[in-house]
Structures are given as structure tokens and as C-alpha cells.
A and B are shown apart, each in its own frame.
Chain A
Amino acid sequence: MHATIQKPVEEILGYFKPGERVFIVGCDNCAAKCHSGGIPETEEMAGRLKSRGVDVIGWCVPQPKGVSLCKLANTARVLQEEYGKETGQADSFLVLACGQGFHTVMDATGGSMVHPGCDTIFGGETVSDTFITEYCSLCGECIVEYTGGLCPVTLCAKSLLNGPCGGAKDGKCEVDKTRDCGWQLIYERLKALGRLEELSAYKEPKNYSRWSRPRSLTIGEGEVTFKSLSGEHTVASHD
């Protein structure tokens, strides 16, 4: 999931020109889980902006329940058909969702002016209703097979691939005494799994061209193609 957090309302207020008619859009998947753009937060934002003099002409969180705002076909249908009357009068949209959902609203409204209501902060695991944390950096080249399933690119503050720096103290990382040293976690997990020998193997530097942006994925007949600066990489979904 894409974790997001709302921008301060003062910052959002600064976006609008006098008299601008604004339609607010939330997301019922990730942003709802982050309490940054679910139904209650989107309705609340409409009220907060209205009470500060913004001309909010409507709001919605595209349904069906739990659907992602970044599904363009659904978002376009909801904004153009279900809410066509309001969105037709809108000068701009405020999106309470991640950067992908944000762009989806641009696409779904024919390139309208769209304002970001959230900062997109990371991709994470929804550990519980109240805690989301990051285990993957979306680098394009997964190496966790060799690190006990724990990603050093994400869990080590320096993204070291060949083992710990000398900075850990009492199992905590040098950057923050409250944060576990990622390599300490990897070491303990490999030890528990009886796979400590993985630590001895030299790991090549990462191919950062697979982490180039923007990247894309094209889904074809029985095959998918990943495109990045490392080139096009096609994988068949069956033998």
C-alpha cells in the first residue's frame, strides 16, 4: 500500500485562488487506511475548507468499497457520471490520496487542475489498523532471498548490501537510538533460519537503472513487460 499523510490545512488553503470552485476526491483503499483520504476525512476536509471560506462544490470517495482511486476506469466513471454535475462545475480538484491517485484524477478529468492534499510518504505493510511500516523500497531488483527476507536497502539506513557498518550500538542504528539496526535483524534472522552462510557471499552493487523513474509495466497476452532505463524486460506468465 501507499502510505500518505495529509498536508497542513494552511498549506492547502494557499493553493486556491479567490472564488475557485473545488471538488475534493478521496480514496477508499490506501488513503482510507492511513486516515488521510477515506470517507470521514474527505467529508471533514470539505467542512474545514468551507469554514475557511473555500467554495467546495462537492466531494466523493469513489466506490465500490475498498476500491483504489488509482484504478482509472472506475475513477473516471465515478467522477464523470455519478458526480458529473458537480465535477463539471469545478475549477479544480483537491486529492486526498497518494501521488498515483492524484495523477489518476488528472487523467479522469481530462487534465483538470488538481491540487495535492497529501504527502505520499512510502509503500508499506499494513501491520494493523493503527500501524503501517516500510519493508520495501520498490528498487526493482529484489534481493531478500539472501538476507533472510529482510530488505537491507530499506531496513539499513545506508542501504548496505554486504553487512553492517560499525555504527550499531546495543542493536540500534547509528542514525536513531530507537530504530533497530537492519543488519542486526538480518543477522539474527539468518541465524535463526540456520542460513548464516548467506552473509559470507559477496553482493554486487545494485543496478540503479532498474530504479530509474518513471518505470512502467505493460500487461500483454501471457506476458508482461517492465520498462526502465535498464531496458525492456519481458516475462511470460507460463512455460
Chain B
Amino acid sequence: MEGYVTAVNVTDLQSAVMRVGSLAVSARLLERGIEPVFQISCRDRNRLALQSDLLSAWAFGVENVLCITGDHPVLGDHTEAKPVYDLDSVQLLKAADMLNQGKDMTGHSLESSPDFFLGAVVTPSADPVEPQIIKMKKKINAGAAFFQTQAVYEPDKFEQFMNKIQSFNVPVIAGIVLLKSAAMARFMNSNVAGINVPQTIIQELEETSKEDRRHKTVEITARIIRDIKPFCQGIHIMPLGWNELVPEIIEQACLN
């Protein structure tokens, strides 16, 4: 994927499933010369641990930080875990921004300060979208300098959303999850918030033979990227294991 992607997102116990932490993986990527987007969620740590892990990340050379709320523990594999959420994503952004300014949340001065590039998430196809936009504005005021979105499949609706937030003047990286099958698309439509795969795409996938599926996935993804490219400042491809398709998608979408 080298030469194709600018940075790699490192998820923080995504879907509330226990696994190696995003800080260690981000540090390892840096060792290999790959730029990470370190995701940090409010689910598992209180304000002491969040600030400390941010400083630890800086000590490892991590610059890009994506501050997220985090999926609730009951959605994961440790359903009896205590959800923390001591801070919410806006408060976490503000805390990280304070660290950038050389202070912790209590106002104590740091010996040296980090210089994080802070990001946040927004769900453009939420219904209603107004609370998302209000919160997006709060995130910007709290220090968010870029946004990543939930997966986008409807270029028209995405364009409308981008028009609504035009005055925010903040770079938006649109998300796209590779659609591996019609069944997966249907599953996401009924189970994943903020995702709406149009019927026409589901039909396209349905009419594709199993052998041609990967080819089709590349074609659909590249097409959506070409359609939304004019309205956003970057694309975040979520390949869910089909990583080897990413270079081809990028070529077909004329992103290089």
C-alpha cells in the first residue's frame, strides 16, 4: 500500500472488542515510516488515563489523533464491562487541545507541550442531521482540525451535507467501507447507524457472480470515490481485510 495511502487509521478496540491497543500499533507504524491516525475513544479510560495516553502517544511521535466516543461495551465481547465515558468526545478534544497549549485539564503547566493534529468524526447521513452538525461545530470550537465520516454511499446526500457545513471551513475525509456482498450491505443498512447503501448498489452486488465479486467491489468503491471526491478533502478507505484491493481502488478512482 506504500505510495498509495498518506496515513493509516489505527482503531481503538473497535466495536468494543478486546485486542492490542491503538497506541502500540501507532508507534509500530511510525517505526516503519507509516503515518498513523491514532484513534482514542472515551469508552475505556477516565480523564487521567486519556490525557496520559495522549502524552504517551506524543512521546512515541504520534501527531494525528482522532478523538471518538467509542462503541458501547454491550456491542462488543466484554458486555459486562463498566462503560467509562468520563469525558465525551467534545471534552476529550478540548483536553487534547489544552495539552497542545501546554496545560492539562486542571490548568497545571506541562514541562513541554505536544502539537497534535486533532480530528473528530461526524455522521453525514444521520437522521436528523442537525444535532450532528451542532456537535460538529462544538468539536471545531474544542480543537478539531479535521473530520472523518461514517461510510458514505450516496454522493448526492453527501454533497448536501457538505454544502450545509461549508462555512465551517474544515477538511473532511469521507469514509467508505468496502462492500463485499449484497448480504453485507443489507446487514449494514439494518444494523449500522448512519450507513445507507442504496438499493441500486445492493442489486449490482447481487447480480455479480462470486468470482467477479472483488472486481465489482473495486469498481463500486472507485466510482463512489470519484463521485464524492469534488466535495471533500480526503478519502478514508476501510477495507475490512480486503487490503490488497486498495491500490487498485485508488488507481481506478484516479486519486494518485
Contact = CB atoms under 8 A, between A and B. Distances in A.
Interface string A183-215: 110010000000000011011110010000000
In the A-B complex, the 7 residue pairs with the smallest Cβ-Cβ separation, listed nearest first, are: A163-B135, A166-B123, A162-B90, A165-B69, A160-B88, A169-B193, A158-B85
Interface string B173-196: 000000000000000000111100
B150 interface: yes
Interface residues of A, number: 27
Interface stretch (B32-40, B71-79, B198-206, B216-224): B71-79
Nearest to A190: B131
Interface string A209-231: 00000000000000000000000
Interface of B: 42-43, 47, 69, 71-72, 74-75, 83, 85-91, 94, 105, 121-123, 126-128, 130-132, 134-135, 137-138, 141-142, 150, 191-194
B220 to A, nearest CB: 23
Contact of A205 (B74, B87, B194): B87
B132 A175 contact: no
A174 interface: yes
B69 A168 contact: no
Contact of B69 (A158, A187, A203, A204): A158
Contacts of B132: 163-164, 166
A167 to B, nearest CB: 5
Contacts of A184: 128, 131
Contact of B193 (A158, A160, A163, A166): A166
Given A164-B131, A199-B135, 5 more contacts: A166-B69, A166-B132, A169-B191, A202-B94, A205-B87
B75 A175 contact: yes
Contacts of A169: 191-194
Contacts of B131: 163-164, 183-184, 187, 199
Interface in A114-140: none
A168 B129 CA distance: 11
Contact of B71 (A163, A167, A176, A200): A167
B135 to A, nearest CB: 4
A168 B150 CA distance: 13
Given A164-B131, A166-B122, A205-B47, A158 B75 contact: no
B136 to A, nearest CB: 9
A174 B126 contact: no
A57 interface: no
Contacts of A204: 91
B126 A160 contact: no
A166 B121 contact: yes
Given A158-B88, A183-B131, A202-B90, A175 B72 contact: yes
A167 B72 contact: yes
A157 interface: yes
B130 A187 contact: yes
A177 to B, nearest CB: 9
Contact of A187 (B47, B91, B128, B137): B128
A205 B193 contact: no
A213 to B, nearest CB: 15
